[in-house]
Structure 1
Amino acid sequence: MAERSVPFRDKAIETAPRPEIEKIQTAALRTQIAQALKTPFYRPRLEEAGLSSPDEIRSLADLSRIPFTSKGDLREAYPFGLLAVPKDQVVRVHASSGTTGTPTVIYLTQKDLDLASDTMARCLTAAGATSGDVVQNMMTYGLFTGGLCFHYGAELLGAMVIPTSAGNTLRQLKFMKDFGTTMVHATPSYLLHLHQAIADEGYSRGDLRLRMAVTGAEPHSEELRLKIQDKLGIEVYNCYGMSEMNGPGVAFECVHRAGMHVWEDRYIAEILDPDTLLPVPEGEIGELVLTILCRDAMPLLRYRTRDLTRFIPEPCACGRTHRRIARFTGRTDDMLIINGVNVFPSQIEEVLLRTKGVGANYFIIVDKDGVLDKLTVQVEITPEMFADDSRVINALRERLKSELQALITINPVLEIKQPGSLPVSEGKAKRVSDLRPKE
């Protein structure tokens, strides 16, 4: 196989020596501390920690002196407790998706917005996107950052952007065919739904020019990525971000797709034990904690993402020096405790999607059976498997039960569903329903 060329948007920064990256981070952290001291929320917390001036930050070792920030803190500071600039300098407000009650809001100045767009353009370049691409953005537009922030980055790259947003699959297909869409941005669950629609509407791969997709908003397994690639005949790139950190583009896969590069000139990433909040040994899984370095309107220091990942210690073949994080194994707050056992939905997905004959849609239900917890896994099978002998389907059910029990030590109820019988989400897929009474 011929060696693949490595595209860069800012090669000098992306391949900078580690001491230079750390120097950039230290200077930027001082700037963020200065901004944070202007806010009603951070000022008393930082002063209590002995950080009444940005000059107190002498190196990255001083990061440990900074208190953590949580999503609850953002709600406590609503609406303006974290705003570090006059309101007339704010040009955009976003809010984190999936929240109830008091929202968690994010403010951006024009400079902040330009840097967020540039970060996204850097991501897309790293994945091999160019100004010649036709990019169809199938993420929701609005308060959720996934639509607009990605859109601005693709435009800055010079690509033709089609803001179809989520849903209306038949219209999505028409635009893909008529405008020669080469790249899409969507949730992994929606890409699988799109593949089924392509088949149902009688399209062939020859009718479309699609060559790559960027997925985000939902944690998903490598098995699901491979399934999408196989079904659509494209390359799929993993993107990580969150509204609190300017949306998509905090970390992104390069053309080698061997972990996601965190853009360390714009973020400081730590991986800590979620219980002790101390660094885990290199390469071990822990909670990702982020500090944004590229925003004036709203500093966010040592933000606990609740996402579980690890640093990849080996250098990447692309030559970038910014550290990589591995695919996420789950979240500290989506972990299910079933009869005392910790279970992550991603573990169940891994078993299901690596098994031949299993479809891409599944649903997990946790309920009570007397005093014990009961785990039910509903999974669709492929049309070919559904048309097969009932003995084959029963054998598949028993195999899945056995493999799940071996992995998670819980004996699940496994319900086989016919293709298309489980609900399809056009936004973030809801995969778990916990029906146990709240204590």
Structure 2
Amino acid sequence: MKAYWNQEMETMPEEELKALQLAKLQETVEWVYDRVPFYRKAMEDRGVRPGDIKSLADIALLPFTVKTDLRDNYPFGLCAVPKDQVVQIHASSGTTGKPVTGPYTEQDLANWAECMARNLWAAGIRPGDVVQNAYGYGLFTGGLGLHQGARRISAAVVPASSGMTERQITLMKDFGTKALFCTPSYALTIAEKARELGVDLRNLPLSVGVFGAEPWSEEMKREIESRMGLVAHEVYGLTEMGGPGVAFSCSGNISGLHINEDHYIAEVVDPLTLEPLPLGEVGELVFTSIQRRAMPLLRYRTRDITRLVRKKCSCGRTFLVMEKVLGRDDDMMIISGVNVFPSQVESILLDIKEVEPQYVIIIKKQGHLDRLHVDVEASKSVYEKGPEKVAMVEKDISSKIKGIIGISVSVRLVPPKTLMRSEGKAQRVRDTRMSRDH
């Protein structure tokens, strides 16, 4: 059985890959300049023409695209093809303002399936394997993105969608599911329900998980693997770039995700100055899609904070590596002058055996200062030992957060199964500073 889904692309020498990227970038810039008034004006405002892009470094001449640009041009203002060439439309699941629209041509869908096939093949999924897709189907790109990737490699898809957790477990047992697709927080919800039902997922054929759509720490990864008896892989993407499949994990020795560089050019920029940063420095991740036709975006600011590295992976793939996303710069909390990401708090909580991996971070206003409070579920054994034990664990957690992150946090242990469970993206942070109830 072949080691790669597309060996030619996934192991292409760096110089050949860069030459391919430049040709596709030049083609894409000309494509949007000719067909999308928004980009023509944005480029002309910067004094840039398609012919000015002579090297990959010249990408810095191009304008950035931000989420408000997509909302301001809702629904099809950034579409580069006639409507009769659009065969599928997705949209973001945002709760404020207009959604972000993602139109696709037939070729866009084929490219999306190709990128997802690489992801799933790298996770060890093969033709005939039973895969259970517990991402939501519909406008959200996750469900159909994973579905068509699995179909491309001829896996047998169980389109369970999200929710009905007890049925998910029944399907795993009855159908002999090998791989589970869902958000990492929903994987924990499934694992918890299985334990309640007396089902040991580690005794089932389930051996692979492909998780994404929300930030998750290495500690959560290990927790999921331990509870479910599988190897957890990551899928990364965003509606603005066409959905999941932008980057993916492998079984090699790198810590991070391979970017499908023949489809996306990645940059990291300083979030404040927007100046490009060299490889290895932490900053905001920016993508340019170079093979999309319906809605290619130039230099889209993801708001995700990470670093890019070019290093040899034992899997043999030569694609650029993005390290695990630290968080989003618009999710970053500044508490007592310290920058804090929710993932940092999660990493500490999941290392503490007395609590469950269910928590919520609450930002409150205390006088003129912002304060951080954490509610986390105690394990049943701890809670049953009474208030003295609970107080001891709360103090221990608060002390660990202070020692590692450098801020004082109020910690409250709550009874098991108190906090809301997630069937999709978990809401881990609640900001009460603008509400009366704080």
Q: TM-score, normalised by structure 2?
A: 0.95
Q: 1:359 touches 1:381 (CA, 8 Å); kept in 2?
A: yes
Correspondences of 1:50-61 after superposition (within 5 Å): 50-53=47-50, 55-61=51-57
How far apart are the structure 2 equivalents of 1:397 and 1:356?
12
Residue aligning to 2:340: 343
Correspondences of 1:105-144 after superposition (within 5 Å): 105-144=101-140
3-state DSSP of counterpart to 1:41: helix
How far apart are the structure 2 equivalents of 1:153 and 1:68?
30
Residue aligning to 2:81: 85
Residue aligning to 1:239: 235
Q: 2:268 touches 2:278 (CA, 8 Å); kept in 1?
A: no
How far apart are the structure 2 equivalents of 1:278 and 1:105?
28
Alignment pair present for 1:228 and 2:208: no
How far apart are the structure 1 equivalents of 2:169 and 2:248?
26
Alignment pair present for 1:367 and 2:344: no
Q: CA deviation at 1:284?
A: 2.2
Aligned match for 2:426, one of 424, 429, 435 = 429
How far apart are the structure 2 equivalents of 1:213 and 1:389?
37
How far apart are the structure 2 equivalents of 1:274 and 1:206?
43
Residue aligning to 1:187: 183
Correspondences of 1:268-287 after superposition (within 5 Å): 268-287=265-284
- Identity percentage of aligned residues: 47
Residue aligning to 1:400: 397
Q: 1:309 touches 1:328 (CA, 8 Å); kept in 2?
A: yes
3-state DSSP of counterpart to 2:377: strand
Q: 1:367 touches 1:435 (CA, 8 Å); kept in 2?
A: yes
Residue aligning to 1:317: 314
Residue aligning to 2:90: 94
Residue aligning to 2:26: 30
Bigger mean CA offset, 382-391 vs 153-162: 382-391
How far apart are the structure 2 equivalents of 1:265 and 1:415?
48
Correspondences of 1:301-316 after superposition (within 5 Å): 301-316=298-313
How far apart are the structure 1 equivalents of 2:116 and 2:349?
32
Q: CA deviation at 1:209?
A: 1.3
Q: Which letter maps to 1:429?
A: A
State the Cα deviation string for residues 227-264 of structure 1 (Å, max 9, x = none). Answer: 11011111001111111111111110012263100010
Q: 1:291 touches 1:303 (CA, 8 Å); kept in 2?
A: yes
Aligned match for 1:417, one of 406, 414, 421 = 414
How far apart are the structure 2 equivalents of 1:206 and 1:358?
21
State the Cα deviation string for residues 273-307 of structure 1 (Å, max 9, x = none). Answer: 11111233432211100001121111100000000
How far apart are the structure 2 equivalents of 1:173 and 1:307?
33
Q: CA deviation at 1:389?
A: 5.8
Bigger mean CA offset, 332-341 vs 62-71: 332-341
Q: 1:177 touches 1:207 (CA, 8 Å); kept in 2?
A: no
Q: Which letter maps to 1:409?
A: G
How far apart are the structure 2 equivalents of 1:410 and 1:27?
49
Judged with a 3 Å threshold, the aligned counterparts in structure 2 of structure 1 residues 317 and 207 are, in CA distance, closer, same or farther, namely closer
Q: 1:380 touches 1:416 (CA, 8 Å); kept in 2?
A: yes
Residue aligning to 1:103: 99
How far apart are the structure 2 equivalents of 1:233 and 1:108?
37
Alignment pair present for 1:199 and 2:172: no
How far apart are the structure 1 equivalents of 2:353 and 2:289?
42
State the Cα deviation string for residues 36-76 of structure 1 (Å, max 9, x = none). Answer: 111121111122333333x3321101101101000011111
3-state DSSP of counterpart to 1:429: coil
How far apart are the structure 1 equivalents of 2:149 and 2:227?
27
State the Cα deviation string for residues 366-396 of structure 1 (Å, max 9, x = none). Answer: 1122222221100012223333465443322
Q: CA deviation at 1:127?
A: 1.6
Alignment pair present for 1:333 and 2:330: yes
3-state DSSP of counterpart to 1:101: coil
How far apart are the structure 1 equivalents of 2:190 and 2:201?
13
Q: Which letter maps to 1:48?
A: D
Q: CA deviation at 1:207?
A: 5.4
Q: CA deviation at 1:18?
A: 0.7
Judged with a 3 Å threshold, the aligned counterparts in structure 2 of structure 1 residues 206 and 404 are, in CA distance, closer, same or farther, namely closer
State the Cα deviation string for residues 395-433 of structure 1 (Å, max 9, x = none). Answer: 221111011112332211100012111111111100111
Q: CA deviation at 1:337?
A: 2.1
Q: CA deviation at 1:129?
A: 1.0
Aligned match for 2:295, one of 275, 293, 298 = 298
Q: CA RMSD of the aligned region, Å? A: 1.6
Q: CA deviation at 1:28?
A: 0.6
3-state DSSP of counterpart to 2:266: strand
3-state DSSP of counterpart to 1:271: strand
Bigger mean CA offset, 339-348 vs 374-383: 339-348
Bigger mean CA offset, 383-392 vs 44-53: 383-392
Q: Which letter maps to 1:114?
A: A
Residue aligning to 1:72: 68
3-state DSSP of counterpart to 1:228: helix
Q: 1:307 touches 1:328 (CA, 8 Å); kept in 2?
A: yes
Bigger mean CA offset, 107-116 vs 369-378: 369-378
3-state DSSP of counterpart to 2:37: coil
Q: 2:279 touches 2:308 (CA, 8 Å); kept in 1?
A: yes
Q: CA deviation at 1:342?
A: 2.0
Alignment pair present for 1:264 and 2:261: yes
Alignment pair present for 1:168 and 2:147: no
How far apart are the structure 2 equivalents of 1:372 and 1:333?
19
How far apart are the structure 1 equivalents of 2:131 and 2:338?
43
Q: 1:6 touches 1:126 (CA, 8 Å); kept in 2?
A: no
3-state DSSP of counterpart to 2:54: coil
How far apart are the structure 2 equivalents of 1:46 and 1:319?
38
Mind listing any 5+ residue stretches in structure 2 that lack a counterpart? none
Bigger mean CA offset, 273-282 vs 228-237: 273-282
